[in-house]
Chain A
């Protein structure tokens, strides 16, 4: 990736390029190709590449290192930011990286309601304490049987839950992703019932592992990874870790989840990583670590059994998948 360090006296691209032109740069380039003829396609393609790298400047974050580190090789930043499931930007793995520049993560606010002590619409900066960011290196296991090791930056979800306050009787936390067809071209297709919905029990939400990421690899989180804030629940399949959150609601009823509604037989509310309970269409016994050729055995609770197994003591995990 191209990292540009600007001196204060240097002009930025947006000082010399009209925003309208920038936003419509693809059609501008296409037009230019037409005018200049086929001979200039090469030139236009490299100009296109230069524009893509200009997408969004990701500021570095100050954060503290923590002991949450599986001591496994990190997945490359290139893979983490270019191989994504984020259907709001398209169903192809490369679609989010290509289309997510349309998302405007700043300014951002999150509606907090339901059984909370302090319901309000919080500005991103008021909800996430950017002065106490920490790094968490977690395994991420997708339900499609591939996995990564990701260095997230963020805060424990419990810090946010404590800030908004839990009313007695609340048992679940429900989350909602932005669903704006102007910023998210994939929302125009009904692959799922938008907006994307997810949920956790309060006990799961308050577990020290449960994390809200606002950064990745030392910088702000890229749009295609769920900017500006996303959930990270490392012992559950990736789809539970909802991206670009616009609403947090506390409730006493098990909340509806998008995949659960779309295919209840395939995606349960818990969706804990479990090599013994198979998805009807994929074996979950093994996985491919992105960047490796062979397959690895999938670990119970994605290797986090010590931290979370007690949450499900006495529960039939085959029935509560």
Chain B
């Protein structure tokens, strides 16, 4: 039995949507418990936990977005691409949660300190740049914008993700103290996903 594209749209999308919501629901629910002085999963430094948790998921989901077209190639089926816009928008959604966690819960809207942090701490500058680059991609993710920009321009714009993803990993590596394995594992996954694009990239270079 094969699953048709229509079935995938109808049932697959809500399932994936719900799965991608789970971490956000967990985070919001635990903050609700924390504000209520109830035992919660955020630990002894809830702000640190929520900054890291939301950032981890934004990065993971961004990597999933980048994994869909290689997956389509491997499966020899265009079906994974059906989910790409939704997954990509979820990456942006978690990036927004990440910023909200930092600006609101951690820094309590202390704008002068925040501004200094963004300018002076290179890893925050890098993170902020990658977030700002994500914004136009999220805005232009609709069918209307593809039409308005034209497919070619739209695609060129969305290649920004190949700059965003390495910046995100860099942001993660710079945040950690000492020589730590975890960011490098994410870096290796990104490198693998980018390697899938190399043939196309070289063709693109030889054409220009």
A-to-B contact residues, CB < 8 Å: 79, 82-83, 87, 91, 93-94, 144, 146, 189-192, 262-263, 278, 280-283, 285-286, 288, 290-291, 294-295
Contacts and interface: CB of A to CB of B under 8 A. Distances in A.
Given A146-B48, A282-B121, A283-B113, A294 B108 contact: yes
Interface in B117-154: 117, 120-123
A262 to B, nearest CB: 6
Interface in B10-33: none
- Main secondary structure, interface of A, reads loop
B178 interface: yes
A82 B43 CA distance: 9
B180 A91 contact: yes
A191 B117 contact: no
Contacts of B123: 281
Interface in B89-137: 107-108, 110, 113, 116-117, 120-123
B178 A191 contact: yes
Contacts, number: 53
Interface string B173-207: 01111111100000000000000000000000000
Interface size class of B (residues with CB under 8 A): 20 to 34
B108 A288 contact: no
B121 A87 contact: no
Please provide the 9 A-B residue pairs with the shortest distance between their CB atoms, ordered closest to farther: A83-B44, A191-B178, A79-B44, A192-B178, A290-B44, A281-B121, A191-B179, A283-B117, A262-B178
B180 A281 contact: no
A146 B106 CA distance: 12
Contacts of B40: none
Nearest to B123: A281
A309 B116 CA distance: 28
A94 B43 contact: yes
Contacts of A294: 108
A221 B47 CA distance: 28
Contact of B120 (A79, A262, A278): A278
A294 B44 CA distance: 13
Interface string B47-59: 1100000000000
Contacts of B4: none
B43 A283 contact: no
